[in-house]
């Protein structure tokens, strides 16, 4: 409590006035008739008896009235917790990423978050956020503790990968809209793999205070996992020693050397078991061959026997489709005998899919129907029969895919079939400067997808190009460029299909790419992309996307897809099933997808294996991030609260109301005691 005008308290000296009045009350003698004064003797009467305090209740009321009036002018106030926009906003962030499934981490984190919420003052706003594969803001800043608790209770462990950089980015966006101080309490296992590559991405805004609550031990919990799987997407011959095999990498994080038993299950039945020795904190590879699968799609799983602290990552699922080899129509110039050999050999050496190459010259294509093939390759064939070119254009418009390698004939015939474009010029590097190198490759494109391309652009950097055509790239995505900027590989959507254009040839005259090992990977990935087998089966990572339809199909709104998640539920509504182009895979397990054309797509989805490394962030890094100057990371009790923000509440009206009531009581008592003055004997 305080006073805004404390100098008025000097008026408390007026309390002596009612006391003085009561002590010096004038004595009124009542006249009494007597017959004679001769018997009276003159004397001095003592006044002590008349100066005693009387009517104490009345005296107390008068003193209280003076006291209250003085206090009212001093303007008293009290401190109250601010419940307006100047208060501190509390944000509770609960980590529900895949690593929180280890032991009792998630239960401990949720319990701590609920306890923190219970200790929150009722006048303080709070907000609940979950941090997993995606950051979800579950509530707006509100006072309602019941709604906040309900939001916390609804959070369940997920399969996604946490990113503290994403959290920092979200707090920056929030701080721009909320001008008040923000207190963030993060309940997490502080996993090291969740840190961004650049620590600067963790810097928090000036009005944000971060308090870390770690639920993990400082020493990493030992954990084994199936780190990666190398398995065929499609299989035509289970006895093929090159394709009919599964290779799995077993990794240990913070582990000692151990002997592990690994099993392969196909459609729920264990078909093979292997034992291997995993070195301390290392990796070991196990192989299962042959892979015996039935016709159609097969749901496969590789599992480590005997669980550990995180049993959810002891298995990796994937899908394999057994079918007859897909046919590929390879159209080449009559004088070109090299490109079918190079491309066919590379396609045969690819380990992911099974294709049979049917090679024909461009003059022999009149009676061929492209719809009977997985995709079509045009190698150095600018002049096609009119009938076949018309049929090929319809094939692409309906969703078929074509791979075109221009070669040296493109310069003589400027028009490019199906591409809806022409050759503007040609660079003969062998005659001018010797050769050109490949300078830029987009490894995010599905035709060249490679998460870790390595040195020399995944092998592209070693190749040399001697001849390349120059085309107009408008409307196309440039996948690869030469060192001088000339587009080398382009992808354009034509109708509902795709045309992949290679501005050089598929033989060793225009370039030496077919002479390098990377050509096998190029042919394999291009074939899987154009045939659609890449998206029809296999294995994906949680939070990745799968394409459901082409943009043209989405615009027309014709046909719908059906998606059933690993939990048996449908993640898409009826309207979304008719228009959605992509689907985000949020759960681990098998997704069953049926496209609008009736084709099935079972996809095995696995958590990001970076979540399997349970090593926590170092203490000094945690202190640096949270900005704490203490020797350890904040491990405060769940019920502790930050310093509150207060405001002053004036009591003037309450004091004046009490003074008014006191004045009425004083009048009533004064009328009762002083209405008749009688001398007391």
What confidence tens digit (pLDDT) does each residue in 496-544 have? 789 999 999 999 889 999 999 889 989 988 998 898 776 655 788 999 8
pLDDT band with cut points at 50, 70 and 90 for residue 645: low
Q: How far apart are CA 585 and CA 571, in angstroms?
A: 10
In this prediction, residues 301-330 reach a mean pLDDT of 90
φ, ψ of residue 619 in degrees (nearest 5): -60, -40
User: In the prediction, which pLDDT does 84 show?
Assistant: 47
φ, ψ of residue 269 in degrees (nearest 5): -115, 130
Of residues 339, 458, 354, 451, the one with CA closest to residue 403:
339
Of residues 292, 293, 265, 288, the one with CA closest to residue 276:
288
pLDDT band with cut points at 50, 70 and 90 for residue 628: very low
Count of CB atoms within 10 A of residue 92's CB? Answer: 26
Burial annotation 231-254 (CB, 10 A radius, 16+ → b, else e): bbbbbbeeebeebbbbebbbbbbb
Adjacency order of strands within the sheet including 464-465: 355-361, 326-332, 375-379, 401-405, 497-502, 487-494, 477-482, 436-441, 464-465
pLDDT band with cut points at 50, 70 and 90 for residue 647: low
Burial of 433 (0-12, 13-18, 19+ CB in 10 A): exposed
DSSP state, 658?
H
Beta-carbon contacts of 391 under 8 Å, excluding residues fewer than 6 positions away, are: 368, 369, 370
Q: By the 8 A CB rule, do 526 and 403 touch?
A: yes
Contacts of 7-14 with C-beta under 8 Å, sequence gap 24+, read 7/74, 8/70, 8/73, 8/74, 8/75, 9/70, 9/71, 9/74, 11/66, 11/69, 11/70, 11/73, 12/67, 12/70, 14/66, 14/70
Of residues 643, 641, 638, 640, the one with CA closest to residue 113:
638
pLDDT band with cut points at 50, 70 and 90 for residue 29: low
Q: How far apart are CA 388 and CA 27, in angstroms?
A: 135
Count of CB atoms within 10 A of residue 302's CB? Answer: 25
User: In the prediction, which pLDDT does 85 show?
Assistant: 40
In this prediction, residues 185-207 reach a mean pLDDT of 91
- Confidence check: pLDDT of 606 > 60: yes
Taking each helix axis as running N to C, give the angle between helix 56-74 and helix 16-23, from 0 to 180 degrees, rounded to the nearest 10: 160
Of residues 32, 57, 25, the one with CA closest to residue 681:
32
In this prediction, residues 173-180 reach a mean pLDDT of 85
Burial annotation 615-641 (CB, 10 A radius, 16+ → b, else e): bbbeeebbbebbebeeeebbeeebeee
What is the per-residue pLDDT across 33-76, written as a single tens digit (0 to 9) for each? 877 777 677 666 555 554 555 677 877 888 888 888 888 888 88
pLDDT band with cut points at 50, 70 and 90 for residue 83: very low
DSSP state, 495?
T
C-alpha dist (Å) from residue 332 to 204, 279, 359, 430, 520: 60, 52, 8, 23, 19
Helix, strand and coil content of the chain, in percent to the nearest 5, comes to 30, 30, 40
User: In the prediction, which pLDDT does 67 show?
Assistant: 85
CA torsion angle 489 493 494 500 (round to 10): 20
Count of CB atoms within 10 A of residue 499's CB? Answer: 26
What is the per-residue pLDDT across 265-311, written as a single tens digit (0 to 9) for each? 999 999 999 999 999 999 999 999 999 899 989 999 999 988 788 99
C-alpha dist (Å) from residue 172 to 184, 195, 462: 12, 17, 43
Residue 318: strand, helix, or coil: strand
Q: What are the DSSP calls for 401-448, one per residue?
A: EEEEE-TTGGGTS-EETTTTEEEEEEEEHHHHTS-EEEEEE-TTSGGG
- Confidence check: pLDDT of 186 > 90: yes
Token digits of residue 360: 């024909």
Of residues 279, 281, 160, the one with CA closest to residue 220:
281
The structure tokens 């979800």 sit at 136
Token digits of residue 173: 């966006």
User: In the prediction, which pLDDT does 447 show?
Assistant: 85
Residue 274: strand, helix, or coil: strand
Q: How far apart are CA 413 and CA 383, in angstroms?
A: 8
Contacts of 624-631 with C-beta under 8 Å, sequence gap 24+, read 624/199, 625/164, 625/202, 625/210, 625/212, 626/210, 626/211, 626/212, 627/204, 627/209, 627/210
């Amino acid at each position: 409590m305080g006073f805004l005008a404390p100098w008025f308290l000097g008026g408390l000296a007026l309390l002596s006035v009612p006391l003085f009045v009561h002590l010096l009350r004038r004595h009124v003698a009542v006249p009494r008739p007597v017959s004679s004064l001769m018997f009276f003797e003159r004397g001095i009467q003592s006044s002590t008896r008349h100066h005693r305090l009387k009517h104490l209740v009345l005296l107390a009321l008068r003193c209280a009235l003076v006291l209250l009036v003085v206090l009212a002018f001093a303007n008293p106030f009290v401190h109250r917790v601010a419940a307006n926009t100047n208060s501190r906003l509390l944000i509770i962030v609960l980590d529900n990423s895949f690593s929180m499934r280890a032991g009792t981490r998630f239960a401990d984190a949720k319990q701590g978050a609920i306890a923190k919420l219970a200790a929150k003052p009722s006048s303080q706003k709070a907000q609940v956020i979950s941090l997993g594969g995606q950051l979800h803001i579950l509530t707006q800043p509100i006072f309602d503790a019941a709604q906040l608790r309900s939001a916390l209770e609804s959070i369940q462990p997920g399969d996604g990968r946490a990113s503290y950089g994403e959290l920092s980015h979200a707090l920056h966006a929030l701080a721009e809209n909320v001008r008040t101080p923000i207190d963030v309490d993060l309940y997490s296992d502080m996993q090291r793999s969740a840190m961004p590559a650049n620590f600067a991405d963790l810097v928090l805004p000036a009005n944000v205070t971060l308090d870390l609550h770690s639920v993990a031990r400082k020493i990493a919990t030992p954990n084994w996992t199936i780190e990666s799987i190398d398995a065929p997407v499609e299989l035509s011959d289970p006895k093929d020693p090159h394709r009919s095999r599964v290779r799995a990498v077993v990794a240990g994080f913070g582990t000692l050397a151990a002997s592990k038993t690994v099993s392969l299950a196909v459609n729920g039945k264990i078909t093979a078991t292997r034992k291997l020795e995993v070195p301390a904190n290392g990796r070991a590879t196990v192989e299962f061959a042959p892979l015996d699968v039935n016709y159609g799609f097969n749901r496969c799983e590789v599992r480590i026997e005997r669980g550990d602290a995180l049993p959810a990552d002891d298995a990796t699922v994937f899908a394999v489709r057994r079918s007859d080899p897909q046919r590929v129509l390879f159209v080449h110039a009559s004088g070109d005998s090299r490109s079918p050999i190079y491309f066919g050999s590379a396609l045969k050496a690819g380990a992911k899919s099974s294709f049979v190459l049917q090679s024909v010259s461009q003059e022999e294509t009149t009676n061929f129907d492209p719809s009977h093939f997985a995709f079509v390759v045009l190698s150095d064939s600018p002049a096609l029969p009119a009938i076949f070119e018309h049929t090929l254009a319809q094939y692409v418009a309906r969703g078929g895919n074509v791979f075109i390698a221009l070669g040296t004939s493109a310069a003589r015939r400027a028009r490019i079939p199906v591409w809806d474009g022409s050759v503007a010029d040609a660079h003969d590097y062998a005659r001018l400067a010797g050769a050109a190198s490949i300078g830029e490759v987009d490894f995010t494109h599905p035709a060249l997808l490679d998460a870790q391309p390595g040195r020399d652009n995944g092998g592209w950097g070693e190749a040399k190009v001697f001849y390349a055509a120059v085309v107009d790239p408008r409307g196309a995505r440039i996948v690869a460029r030469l060192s001088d900027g000339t587009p080398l590989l382009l992808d354009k959507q034509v109708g509902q299909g795709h045309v992949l254009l290679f501005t050089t040839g598929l033989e060793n005259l225009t370039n030496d790419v077919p002479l390098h090992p990377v050509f096998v990977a190029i042919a394999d990935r291009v074939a899987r992309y154009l045939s659609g087998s890449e998206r029809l089966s296999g294995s994906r990572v949680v939070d990745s996307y799968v394409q459901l339809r082409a943009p043209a199909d989405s615009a027309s709104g014709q046909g719908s897809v059906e998606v059933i998640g690993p939990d048996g539920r449908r993640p898409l509504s009826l309207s979304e099933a008719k228009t959605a182009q992509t689907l985000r895979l949020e759960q681990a397990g098998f997704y069953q997808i049926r496209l609008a054309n009736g084709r099935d797509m079972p996809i095995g989805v696995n958590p990001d294996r970076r979540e399997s490394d349970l090593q926590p962030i170092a203490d000094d890094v945690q202190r640096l991030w949270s900005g704490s100057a203490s020797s350890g990371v904040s491990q405060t009790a769940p019920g502790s609260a930050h310093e509150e923000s207060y405001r002053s509440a004036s009591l003037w009206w309450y004091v004046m109301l009490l003074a008014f009531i006191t004045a009425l009581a004083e009048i009533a008592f004064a009328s009762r005691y002083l209405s008749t003055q009688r001398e007391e004997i």
